[in-house]
Amino acid sequence: MKLITSTLSCSRQGFVKTVKTGLLATVLAFSGVQAYALSELNVAQGSDPQNLDPIDTFRLSWGSIGSNIFEGLIQRGEDLQLVPGLATAWEFLDDNSRIRFTLREGVSFHNGEPFNAAAVKYTFDRLLGEQGQKGPQRSNYTSIGSVEVIDDYTVEFHMNQVDPVLITKLAGYGAMIVPPKYIEEVGEEAFDRKPVGTGPYQVVSYEPSVELKLARFEGYWNGTAKTELVNIRFISEPATRMAELMSGGVDISLNVPNTSVETLKKNKSVDLVTVGGPTVNMMRFKANSGITADARVREAMNIAIDRDAILNALLGGLGESIATAQGELSFGNDASIKKYPYDPARAKALLKEAGVAPGTDITLDIYNSDETFREISQVVSSYLGMVGLNLKIRANETNIMASDLIPNGKTGELFQFGWGGWTFDFDNTAYLLYHSGERFNPYINDAKLDELLEQQRATYDRDVREQALQQVAGYIREQSLELPLFNLATMYGVSKKVSGFVPAPDDRVRYMNVVVAE
C-alpha cells in the first residue's frame, strides 16, 4: 500500500476528490492488488524535456510526450494535415483581424475540470503574459493580441498583425490548452511536474531524467487508448537505448542513431520504421567575406560534393538530398528547383575563374555532439580536397556554437546548420536564415530577400505566400548562398510485437492506437 500513499501525497486534495475511476484502477494496479495485468507499452527516448508545461519548452522530446497529454484547438496528425481539435470550426472575420473559434463541447480535463472558453482564454493569457515570458514559446504567438470569450463555447482571437502560419501554430506546443483551475490550485511548479490536459493519457508519475508514467484517461472525448499504461524512459546514451530495444526492455525507441541503422535492419525482433522528417542538414557560408563572398566559389563547393554517395554510404540511404533548406513536405518547396549536380571538373574551373589558388585553407565549424555530421564533414572535406580546397574541421561545444560563434559571426567559411522546421512551412526556416538581423543569420543581408520574406508574412493568401517562398528558395539556389545536404528521415526502432504505431514526421508520436502483443 506504500505506493498508494506516495501517489496520493503528490496530488492535491481537490484533485483527489475528482479522481476518475480510471485513475483509481491505475492506482490500484500500482499497489499490487491488481486482478489482471494491465496492458503496458515501454518507450525510450533520448532526452527529457525536464518540464512538462507546454509553454516552458521547445524540445522535440516534449512533443512525443505532450501530444499524448495535451490537445490544441487545431490538431495536426501524422499526415501533417490540420484538422479540428478542441475547436470544431473557425472563421476569419473583419479582414482577418479577428478569428472566431467554435469549441468542442463535452470535453473535460484529466482532473474533471471542464474544457470551455474560459480555459482557452486562460491558456493564451498565460502564454502571452508574465508566465509565458519565462519560456521560449511566447515569441511564436505574439501576433495574437487578445482572446475574448464570447460564450462558454465560443472565443475570438484579436490579431495584432497578420500571421499566415497561426493556424499551424495553434497545433503547436505553446497553444496546448491548459486547465485554469488546476493550475491556480496547485501552482506553476507543480504543473511543470504533473500537468493535466485533455489528451488520451494522463500523467501518473514523473521522475525527471528517469521515467514518465502515463495511464489511459478513461474520460477521453475521442475514443479510448488501446494500451492502459505507457512508460516513457529517458535514456540519453544512444547505445544504451538501442540495447534496451534489442533486449526487449522497451517496445519503441525514438531517436535512433545513424550508427545503429544497420544493426536494427538486421535484428529479427525489431523493425526500423522511418518517415520523412522536417530536419534538414546543411552547411552555411560565411557569405559576406573571404573567398565565400564570391558566388562562383560557393557554387563550386556545392557541385564538388556527391550528396547521394554520402547519403548511401553514411546514412543508409535514409533521407533525401535537397536543393534548398527544406524537404518535400514543406510548404514553399519548389520541386522544379534542380538539385546541385556532382561536377568536380566544373567546380575546379569555377574556382580557377574566381582566382582561388589550389590548396587554399578553409574552415568548417561543426557541433561536437553530432557524430554523424562529423563523419559527413570528413567526406565533404575529401570531396573539397579533390577540387583543391583544404577544409579544416573544427568541432565546437553546442552551447558555444549556438550562443557565440553563429550569432556573433565568428564561424569559419562554412558552418554546420541543422534545422527541424516543425511547422513544415518554409517561412519558419527562411525568415530565420535569410532575413537580415536575425540571430542565426550573421552574414546574409539582402534587400530582395528581406522584401520577399516580409511580403509573405503579411498575408493569409496561400498562393501569394507559396510564390514568395519559392522565389526565396530560387534566389538562394541561384546565388548558392548555402550548401544544402539532406532532408533526413525520422527513425523509430519498433519491436515486432508492436502494432498500430504510426511514425510521426515531427516527433509528435501518439501512442493511443499502439498495442503490444503479449
Partner 1 sequence: MQQLTFLSQRLLQAVFVTLAVTLFVAFAIRFTGDPAVMMTQESSNVTEADLAMIRESLGLNAPFHVQYLQFMGQLLTGELGNSFFRGPIKELIGSALPSTLLLAATSMVLSILISIPLGIVAAVKQGKWVDQLIRILSLTGLSFPNFWLAMMLVLIFSITFNVLPVSGFSGVASLVLPSATVAIVLTAVNVRLVRTAMLDVLSEQYIMVARAKGVKEFWVIYKHALRNSAIALITFFGLQFGNLIGGIVVVERVFNWPGMGSLALDAIAQRDYPLLQASVCILAMLIVIVNLVTDMAYSLIDPRIRVKS
Catalog residues that contact partner 1 under the rule CB under 8 A. Answer: 48, 50-51, 56-60, 133-140, 189, 192-193, 207-211, 233-237, 239-240, 243-244, 246-249, 397-400, 402-403, 420-423, 428-429, 431-432, 439
465: left (phi over 0), alpha (psi -120 to 50) or beta: alpha
Q: Which is nearer to partner 1, 239 or 309 (CB)?
A: 239
Q: What are phi and psi of 391, to 5 degrees?
A: -90, 125
414-420 and 360-367 as β-strands: parallel, antiparallel, unpaired?
parallel
Longest dimension (CA), the chain: 80
Query: What's the closest the beta carbon of residue 278 comes to partner 1, in angstroms?
Result: 11
Q: Which is nearer to partner 1, 5 or 336 (CB)?
A: 5
* Residues in contact with 254: Cβ distance below 8 Å, sequence separation at least 6, in sequence order: 43, 44, 45, 46, 64, 492, 507, 509
User: CB–CB of 279/428 below 8 Å?
Assistant: no
CA–CA separation, 377 and 358 (whole Å): 20
Block residue for cell numbers 537505448: 241
User: How many CB atoms sit inside 10 A of residue 207's CB?
Assistant: 12
Angle at CA of residue 77, ends 144 and 460, nearest 5°: 35
Report which DSSP code applies to 262: H
User: CB–CB of 234/48 below 8 Å?
Assistant: yes
Q: Which residues pair with 76 in a beta bridge?
A: 82
Query: What's the closest the beta carbon of residue 192 comes to partner 1, in angstroms?
Result: 6
Q: Which is nearer to partner 1, 145 or 238 (CB)?
A: 238
CA–CA separation, 339 and 322 (whole Å): 6
Q: Which is nearer to partner 1, 13 or 247 (CB)?
A: 247
Q: Which is nearer to partner 1, 57 or 274 (CB)?
A: 57
Which run of H or of E encompasses 465?
A: helix 462-479
Query: What's the closest the beta carbon of residue 44 comes to partner 1, in angstroms?
Result: 9
Q: Which is nearer to partner 1, 95 or 518 (CB)?
A: 518
Query: What's the closest the beta carbon of residue 238 comes to partner 1, in angstroms?
Result: 11
Q: Which is nearer to partner 1, 17 or 268 (CB)?
A: 268
Query: What's the closest the beta carbon of residue 58 comes to partner 1, in angstroms?
Result: 4
What Rg, from alpha-carbon coordinates, does the chain have?
A: 25
Q: Which is nearer to partner 1, 225 or 469 (CB)?
A: 469
CA distances from 393 to 302, 321, 344, 386 (A): 17, 22, 21, 16
Q: Which is nearer to partner 1, 80 or 107 (CB)?
A: 80
Q: Which triple of cell numbers denotes residue 172?
A: 503547436
Q: Which is nearer to partner 1, 87 or 235 (CB)?
A: 235
Query: What's the closest the beta carbon of residue 292 comes to partner 1, in angstroms?
Result: 25
Query: What's the closest the beta carbon of residue 465 comes to partner 1, in angstroms?
Result: 16
User: CB–CB of 465/263 below 8 Å?
Assistant: no
Q: Which triple of cell numbers denotes residue 422?
A: 516543425
Of 281, 279, 231, 290, nearest to 255 by C-alpha is 279
Query: What's the closest the beta carbon of residue 508 comes to partner 1, in angstroms?
Result: 13
CA–CA separation, 35 and 426 (whole Å): 52
Query: What's the closest the beta carbon of residue 68 comes to partner 1, in angstroms?
Result: 19
Q: Which is nearer to partner 1, 196 or 347 (CB)?
A: 196
Which run of H or of E encompasses 300?
A: helix 295-303
Query: What's the closest the beta carbon of residue 389 comes to partner 1, in angstroms?
Result: 30
Query: What's the closest the beta carbon of residue 138 comes to partner 1, in angstroms?
Result: 7
